[in-house]
Chains A and B, each alone.
Chain A
Amino acid sequence: MERAALIGSSLCYLFALGHTLFSLFKGRFRPGRFNVAAVAAGAGLQGWYLTLLGSQLHACPIRTLPQVLVFLGWSMALFYLAIGTSYRLSLMGAFTAPVVLLLQVAAVFIPAGKIDPVRGVDPWIETHASLSLVAYGALGLSCIAGLMYLVQERQLKSRRPSAIFHDLPPVTTLAVTVRRLLVAGFVVLTIGFAAGFLARTPIPKVKICFSALIWLLYAGLLADSLSGRLGNRRTAQGAMLVFLLALLLLPVIQRLSTLG
């Protein structure tokens, strides 16, 4: 049943992606309800999948890399739904759906590896893990908004903007969105990080070091950005680079933790 939910949600994201590509190709993309509905359905099915898995495990379903990827994709979809309408970033669906789909496909094909045994539920460790992933959902969206910022800035500076220019939001809105998502993600990440220190379960040192590195990078990026030392372009580039680094480090941390 949970596999059907996972495939169903992948299909929803695929529909969103296909619809966007088709309408962009036809040159008549209109920010509409289809993308939002498809992402909402995808997120709903992901949520169902995670619930089923959680009730089987009697713990938060983030014990293997595939589960972590699905949880991350679900967090991104939820943040997209939360900010999508308020910032009128409906084209964000065009960028969010493929990223979530990619995470989902990776989750299906990556071998689950060794499953951490559930040694009694430690609420702080569960809080730490789930909040960290929710934070990465927001930070992942800031990465996407950063990419959109750079694309739109390039379009505006070129003498011949292409068709996508008309469909992307204003650069000023995107710059604000990048910063707000960075702040939201960083706050949740910090709470999650703090919860980790309260946990009874010992956390591998390597995991703490990598997490601290990412936290420091985001703290530095935010401090420079909010103080005005980093402009919009550099903030967008920073949001992309740090998230991609975190995404690359995620399997490494997972691997080193299981070895440890």
Chain B
Amino acid sequence: MNILCAGINHRTARLDVRERFAVAPEEAPALLCDLRSVEGVSGAVVLSTCNRVEIYASSLCPVRALDGFREILSARTGMEAPLYHHDTPHAVRHLFRVASGLDSMVIGETEILGQVKKAYSVASEAGTATRTMHKLFQHAFRVAKSVRTETQITSGPTSVGSVAVELAEKIFGDLRHLRVLMLGAGEISERTARSLQSRGVRSTVVSNRTYERAAQLAAEIGGMAIHFDHWDKAVADADILISSTNADGRLVTPEKLAPVMKGRGERSLFVIDLAVPRDADPAINDMEGVFLHDVDSLQQIAAESLVIRQREVERCESLIESHVGGFMKWLQSLHDPERQR
């Protein structure tokens, strides 16, 4: 029995191509049945995410199976399928790498494991997952878990938004009761605010020199707009201040924050300065209860996480290699007449 993997991903196909090949959840069962009807194919699983569409199949004749897959996909999309393909044991290794996040755009991302699990469960429900496929995917989940726990491949946040979220969590713990104040309505600050909102912050207030822009962004992100002249009063209620204005001088200074900090008891203030040139005076970081991070420090933390992840790839690969060996032994034992008996 061979394991075959065929597909496209973010490295081999542009987004507009991937969009055409993407498989919606409601289309998956029918496609799985079509794939299994290809001559020589006993089982199939389809993994469709924003970065990849891949078919994993157990087959006695991989060449014929691959031709069949190409025909089916071309008929669905109306274009020739630019598929890459792997045979045993490379297909096994590929699945283990995909499930572990090593083949992802951001190395070590963990969302992919949930997507692989979902793809497997859809195939199981559709009845297209054979014993070999069951064993393969169960093994892939074990590999992903051990890669995650035994290495630092998922270590640290990797984008400005996720760094800001992690720092906020390390200052406040639960983010659900926090208030965010945005000064300026830049793109990065909007993304950062959205990252914080995704963790459930209580409210977001937007203040911009142009009130209309503040109102527009506030409407988009479900916040509230205030006039720019009032931001220094609003900061008294805020826990997180995201600043990205085009101000000429320093906007957030120790002199402005000192009375604010006096009146807020033990509540900390996290200042995220995304402006270049900077809006916040670095001296505010020396004030008790004030934590300042600018775009440089956020990017540096993200870059360090990526470096740590990159360094771990080799360890992950060797871990995966030992698991591929283990799976191949099991696969070969299926053909071993002694074992069969």
Q: Which residue of chain A is the closest to B289 with respect to CB atoms?
A: A231
**Interface size of B in residues (CB-CB distance below 8 Å):** 28
Quick one: given A159-B300, A232-B266, are A27 and B152 in contact (CB under 8 Å)? yes
The binding surface of chain A is classed by DSSP as helix
Asked whether, in the complex, the Cβ of A228 is within 8 Å of the Cβ of B266, the reply is yes
Residues of A within 8 A of B169 (CB): 170
Query: Given the complex, which residues of A lie within 8 Å of B296, measured CB to CB?
Result: 159
Contact B167 A156 (CB under 8 A): yes
Binding-face segment, A54-62, A160-168, A193-201, A203-211: A160-168
Taking a contact as CB atoms under 8 Å apart, the answer to whether A228 and B149 are in contact is no
Among residues of B, the one whose C-beta sits closest to the C-beta of A88 is B173
B170 within 8 A of A: yes
Contact A171 B268 (CB under 8 A): yes
Most interface-central of A166, A228, A232 (chain B CB within 10 A): A166
Q: Is the CB of B167 within 8 A of A160?
A: no
Q: How far is the CA of A30 from the CA of B170 in the complex (A)?
A: 15
Of the candidates A28, A160, A173, A232, the one whose C-beta lies within 8 Å of that of B289 is: A232
Measured between beta carbons, the chain A residues less than 8 angstroms from B304 are 160
Contacts of B300 in A (CB 8 A): 159-160
> Shortest distance in angstroms between A154's beta carbon and chain B's nearest beta carbon?
11
Residue B291 lies at the interface, judged by CB distance under 8 Å to chain A: yes
Which of chain B's residues have a CB closer than 8 A to the CB of A234? Answer: 288
Chain A residue contacts of B291, Cβ below 8 A? 156-157
Contact flag A159-B297 (CB < 8 Å), given A27-B155, A231-B289, A232-B266: yes
Tell me if A84 is interfacial: C-beta within 8 Å of chain B. Answer: no
**Complex alpha-carbon distance, A168 and B152, angstroms:** 17
Q: Which residue of the partner chain, among B150, B171, B265, B288, contacts A170 with CB atoms under 8 Å?
A: B171
* In the assembled complex, B285 has its CB within 8 A of some CB on chain A: yes
A231 x B288 contact (CB < 8 A):
yes
Interface residue? A63 (CB, 8 A): no
User: Which residues on the B side are within 8 Å of A19 (C-beta)?
Assistant: none
CB of B301 closer than 8 Å to a CB of A? yes
B127 within 8 A of A: no
**Judging by beta carbons under 8 Å apart, are A166 and B155 in contact?**
yes
Instruction: Please indicate the chain B residues that have their CB under 8 angstroms from the CB of A228 in the complex.
Output: 265-266
Q: How far is the CA of A28 from the CA of B288 in the complex (A)?
A: 31
Q: Which residue of B lies closest to A233 (CB)?
A: B288
Interface presence of A172 (CB below 8 A): yes
Q: Which residues between 130 and 156 of chain A lie within 8 Å of chain B, taking CB atoms?
A: 152, 155-156
Q: Is the CB of B150 within 8 A of A28?
A: yes
Chain A proximity of B266: nearest CB distance (Å): 6
B172 at the interface (CB under 8 A from A): yes
Q: Given A28-B149, A28-B152, A232-B266, does the pair A160, B301 have CB atoms closer than 8 Å?
A: yes
Closest to A232 in B: B266
Interface string of B148-190 (1 = CB under 8 A from A): 0111100110000000001101111100000000000000000
Q: How far is the CA of A229 from the CA of B265 in the complex (A)?
A: 9
CB <8 Å contact, B288 and A172: no
Q: What is the CB-to-nearest-CB distance from B163 to chain A, in angstroms, rounded to a whole number?
A: 10
Asked if A169 is at the interface (CB within 8 A of a chain B CB), the reply is yes
Query: Measuring CB to CB, which residues of chain A are less than 8 angstroms from any residue of chain B?
Result: 27-28, 30, 152, 155-157, 159-161, 165-166, 168-173, 175, 228, 231-234
Q: What residues make up the interface of B, taking CB atoms closer than 8 Å to A?
A: 149-152, 155-156, 166-167, 169-173, 265-266, 268, 285, 288-289, 291-293, 296-297, 300-301, 304, 308
- Contact sample, A vs B, 6 pairs, CB 8 Å cutoff: A156-B170, A160-B297, A170-B169, A170-B170, A171-B171, A173-B173
Across the A-B interface, give the 3 residue pairs with the lowest CB-CB distance, nearest first: A170-B173, A159-B297, A231-B288
